[in-house]
Amino acid sequence: MSREQQKASVYPYLWFEGGVYDNNVFHYEVDNKGVGPAFIKNVEVYYHQKKYDSFSKLFTSEWVHINGSNFNKFPYYFDDLETGSVMKIGEEKELYVLKNNQILAQHLGYQVMNDSSFHFKVLYEDVYGGRFLNYDNKITIIEKK
């Protein structure tokens, strides 16, 4: 029982959220709202039955689809959540921020994120090797075999 309490005291809890603000800003982030660091083991993002290794690869692909490959056209910023990375307790990471492009911001925030084909799976571990799967912001504890 003591060991279970000790494990529970370090559970990470990754939560993803984003949307459109002021009609021309798209923002997408992940927060570790848990009480322990999250060690990222795998990231998979799906849209229209295509698999992406990260959120920024999907969002950038949509950028190219709408605006072409001129990335200097509008201010944007991206970081990423990748296999092998670590999120500290309370850390907030902006995965993608796009400003001053109303058409693309609304496309990403309303069409992509609300499309039934948009899904993500993030597998992560706590400091004791306990595994968790965030599948579309539904957290499941993965039991060790």
* pTM listed for this prediction: 0.90
Cα angle vertex 34, ends 42, 95, to 5°? 50
What pLDDT, on the 0 to 100 scale, is given for residue 8?
62
**pLDDT tens digits, one per residue of 62-112:** 988 888 877 777 788 889 998 999 999 999 999 999 998 899 999 999 999
Q: Is 112 left (phi over 0), alpha (psi -120 to 50) or beta?
A: alpha
How many Å apart are CA 61 and CA 55, to the nearest integer?
10
pLDDT for residue 5 is more than 70? no
Q: Which of 122, 121, 41 is nearest to 83 (CA)?
A: 41
How distant is the alpha carbon of residue 5 from its chain centre? 28
